[in-house]
Every structure is written in structure tokens, then in C-alpha cells.
Amino acid sequence: MLDGQNSPIRQWAWWLVLLAAAGTFALTMGVRQTMGLFLSSLNTSTGLGVGGISLAFAFGQLWWGLTQPFAGAIADKVGAARVLIVGVLLVAVGTFITPFMTSTWGLILAIGVLSAGGAGMAGPAVLMAATTRLMPADRRGLATGIVNAGGSFGQFLMAPVAGALMLGFGWANAMQILGAMVLLALPAAFVLQGNSVHSAPVGHTPVGTREAIRTALHNPSYLLLAAGFFVCGFHVAFLATHLPGVIASCGLPTQWGAWSLAMLGLFNIVGSLTMGWAVGRWRMKSLLSVVYAARALAVLVFLLAPKTGPVILLFAAVMGLTFLSTVPPTAGLVAKFFGTANMATLFGIVMLTHQIGGFLGAWLGGQVFQATGNYNWVWYIDIVLAVGAALIHLPIREARVAAVPTQ
């Protein structure tokens, strides 16, 4: 196990850990976040309507979150490697069979259960916890920022790749190629090994999963953090699923939708790395408040601005800076509250609230567009939620949490 000493071998091992975690996140997140590009093609192929297809995407957001506490609990006990292998295989299978689905229930199975569930197993809860355990304490903030940036790089890379594959091979073949590409993440599982026993101090037995969950759910700061992450999920899922539709409704070509998703990913790399650096220098709750306030302001300006191609890309860039930059300080606060032994489980619960918000963002976007012909009301809701999230982080106490006695 890595012990934080500054030997060249151990520093090389740290970078291998970061490459494995960031690369896995790049592939799973990159594929998931490009699915919005296929919404129109799925609608044309199946005739199910934007609302019906959005339900499958929305269920995927929810299921991605639901799998993470359970995947985290399993990883805390048996190690991350086995969980990551199963997760990567499920993403590949779910993505590959999606073009064969012709009903809403079929799409829910492929996109919402298999692909999203696999991405949840090979997602932030397990990856962040594995990275945090294997890295020395003074490098954890930057490490989580780098892993998070990996997911953003995957989105930046996969969006134009998916667009080019759609033009060259058709949407169905493009989706299946993306599914096969996810398998490149399998070797990373053998690097990201370890469980809660490995992260416990010498001579100490880690707190049990039930006790850790009970302690967390009795802590107001943890609950406020989870509530804020709910808002993040709403915002991120709405953009990932419906930003290409927003752009199409402005009368712009499909390529602008692909490049807007790429801009989200590119600038989220900058935002994630910057946030990873900032976590060790400022209060994490304050950083989160700033991010949510910036989102509210950016959406308001976008609504008032003319909807041209350059404006769309500028908006996507600004949104990218805040897109998943909430993850390093959120993960950092969970580790600060409770330590790293049960982090995959406890961060997984926070990710669940994120994805409940994600379900609403993806589903409501489709419902509002189908009812009104535009997305304006979703933007209004997003502004209000972002302002609320900026405010509720202020009372959070950044201190280690004592265990709740068993009743």
C-alpha cells in the first residue's frame, strides 16, 4: 500500500493510479454524456417521441445514482477492482444493444439499467474513494480534481468523435463503436485495488457500513451537502441530455450541438483542475457556493443573449467551468467529515441525491419542451435552484464528525 513517502517509485505509482482512475472516468462519462446527440435519431427511428425517450434518459440518471451507494459499499468491502470490471462490461453491453431497442421499456433497459448502472459502478463514488485511499492526504484534493477532469476530457473527446462516427457510419453503428471503446478501461481495474480495511489506521478496525451511514444521516452538514448536490444533478443532466435540443430549437445545425458538448467537457477540465487546486487553499463550502451562484448568473445571461453559434459555445464554455467542478470539494468534504474508510458508500449516497436531481432535469426537460415547444421554464427553475444551492452551503461546518452512539 502507498504510504505517502516521496520516493520516485511511489510518485510514479501515484501517477499510475491517477491515470487509471481518470482514464476509466473518461471512457464511462464520455460515452454517457454523448447520448444526448442520439436523442433525435432515436426519436426518428422509434417514433416514441421526445418525452418517451427522455424518460429512458431520466431513468438512467436516477439508476446511475442508485447504483453508487451499493457499488460503493461492495467496493468498501471486497475492493474496487471487481466492481469496476462488472461496471465497464455493463456500460459496453448496454450501449451496444441500444440501437436494437424499439420501445420505451427497451430503451430504459439498455440506457437506463445496463449502461447507466454500469457507469454508476465504474463511476465517481468508487473511483474517488479508490483514488483517495491510494493517495497521500496532502495530494487528495488535486488528485480528485484530476480524476474529475478525466471525465471531462472524455466528454470533450467523445462528443466530436461521436458526431464524426454518426456522419460516417450512421447513428446505430456509431453508438455500438462507442460501446466497444469503453472496454479499453478494463485494465485500469487492476491498478485501483483496495478496500476499507486497507485505509484504516494500523491497529484500528474501520467503522461498519451501517454505523457510518447512521452517523452521516444524523449530520446536518452532510444533509446540506447532499441537498446542494441534488441541484448539481438537475443542472448537469438537463444540459447533457437537452443542450443539443436547445441548440436545434435555435435553428442551428447538429454540429453546434456536438461542439457545445465538447466545450462543456473541455472547460470542465479547466474547472476541475482549478477546483482540485483550490480545495487545499480555501473552504470547500465557500467554493461550492461560488460555483452555484456562477451557474445561476450564467443561465440568466444566456436567456437574455442572442442565440448565435458563438454565443452557444461561449455559454457551453462557462457552463463547463462549473459543470462537475462541484465534485472535488463535495468528495473532499465527505472525506473530511468521516474519513476514507467508508467514503465510497457515503459519497455514493451523496451521488444518489445528485442523480435524483438528474432524473428530474432530464425528464422535466423533455416534458416542458413537449408541452411548450421550448425549454424556458426549465431554465427558470434551474436559476432558482442554483441560487438556493449557493445559500444552503453557507451553514455547513467543515469539521470531523463524531460517530452517533448506537441506540
- Return d(Cα 237, Cα 364) in angstroms, integer: 10
Q: 233: domain range?
A: 15-197+206-392
At residue 36, the pLDDT reads 75
**Per-residue pLDDT for 204 more than 80?**
no
Give the DSSP per-residue string, 346-383: HHHHHHHHHHHHHHHHHHHHHHHHHHHSS-HHHHHHHH
pLDDT-derived band at 207, boundaries 50, 70, 90 = low
**Per-residue pLDDT for 131 more than 60?**
yes
Does residue 399 lie in a domain region?
no
- Return d(Cα 9, Cα 84) in angstroms, integer: 25
**Per-residue pLDDT for 10 more than 70?**
no
Does residue 8 lie in a domain region?
no
At residue 194, the pLDDT reads 55
* CA 201-202-203 angle, 5° bins: 110
At residue 7, the pLDDT reads 37
At residue 123, the pLDDT reads 80
Does residue 405 lie in a domain region?
no
Q: What percent of the chain has pLDDT over 70?
A: 90
Does residue 406 lie in a domain region?
no
Does residue 138 lie in a domain region?
yes
Burial of 381 from C-beta contacts in 10 A (0-12 / 13-18 / 19+): middle
> Which pLDDT tens digit goes with each residue over 142-199?
777 788 778 778 877 887 888 888 888 888 999 999 999 999 988 888 877 654 444 4
For the chain, what is the domain count? 1
Burial of 159 from C-beta contacts in 10 A (0-12 / 13-18 / 19+): buried
> Which pLDDT tens digit goes with each residue over 34-59?
887 788 788 888 888 877 787 888 78
Does residue 2 lie in a domain region?
no
**Per-residue pLDDT for 406 more than 50?**
no
At residue 193, the pLDDT reads 67
At residue 3, the pLDDT reads 42
The domain spanning residue 347 has which CATH number? Answer: 1.20.1250.20
State the chain's mean pLDDT as an integer: 82
- Return d(Cα 206, Cα 320) in angstroms, integer: 37
> Which pLDDT tens digit goes with each residue over 363-391?
888 888 888 888 889 999 999 999 999 99
Does residue 1 lie in a domain region?
no
